[in-house]
Amino acid sequence: MRANLTFAAELQHDLAACRRCGLWRNATQAVSGEGPADAAIMLVGEQPGDVEDIAGRPFVGPAGRVLDEALLSAGLTRERLYVTNAVKHFKHETRGKRRLHKRPDGGEILACRAWLDAERARIEPHVIVAMGATAAQAVLGRPTPVLASRGKVFAVTTAAQAIVTVHPSYLLRMRDKPAWPAALADFVDDLRHAAVLSAAC
């Protein structure tokens, strides 16, 4: 990476040339993380969605609005968090004029691991929140059941802990269902848990 650039610009520059897997071919652009370099909490999602792929920023689409709502309820401000994805290119299939999300496979998660490791090494967060199964696999290095792992604290490095929760898109799909309030409340509790762990470091 180039030392004369800020970390965010440096990362975005290097990601633009990434050919570690084939996802770059059909994506508009790679999407790096964003947030302060001294963020105590890192949020890791799955991959950019359709809106993020076009905008070049993480969590600015519908799932991002759910995330912002939950952060507000948890007493957290996004401006103090580092927000990124496990996979940096949008994996999708085209149906008519729509681009529909496809889940990254293990090889694609592994191919992108170096970028996530670089972000983690630079930010040095106290707590990493892995949102969804793809993020959990990327952060913990193994397939991890999300719901069975909630409430547990995982040691990632000597300085960082991780917790696992659902992805905001999971909540988005539940928005019109009776279980929505409880599911959102559980997600907010997970974010509060991350804040408590971070404050204890």
User: Does 39 map to a domain?
Assistant: yes
CATH number of the domain encompassing residue 128: 3.40.470.10
User: Does 140 map to a domain?
Assistant: yes
User: Does 2 map to a domain?
Assistant: no
- Region of 124 please: left (phi>0), alpha (psi -120 to 50) or beta: left
Q: What are the pLDDT digits (tens) for 165-197?
A: 999 999 999 999 999 999 999 999 999 999 999
User: Does 183 map to a domain?
Assistant: yes
Q: What are the pLDDT digits (tens) for 143-171?
A: 999 999 999 999 998 789 999 999 999 99
Give the range of the structural domain holding residue 123, as residue numbers without chain letter: 7-200
Q: What are the pLDDT digits (tens) for 25-47?
A: 999 999 999 999 999 999 999 99
Tally of domains within the chain: 1
- Beta-carbon contacts of 158 under 8 Å, excluding residues fewer than 6 positions away, are none
User: Does 107 map to a domain?
Assistant: yes
User: Does 1 map to a domain?
Assistant: no
Rounded CA-CA distance 1/160 in Å is: 24
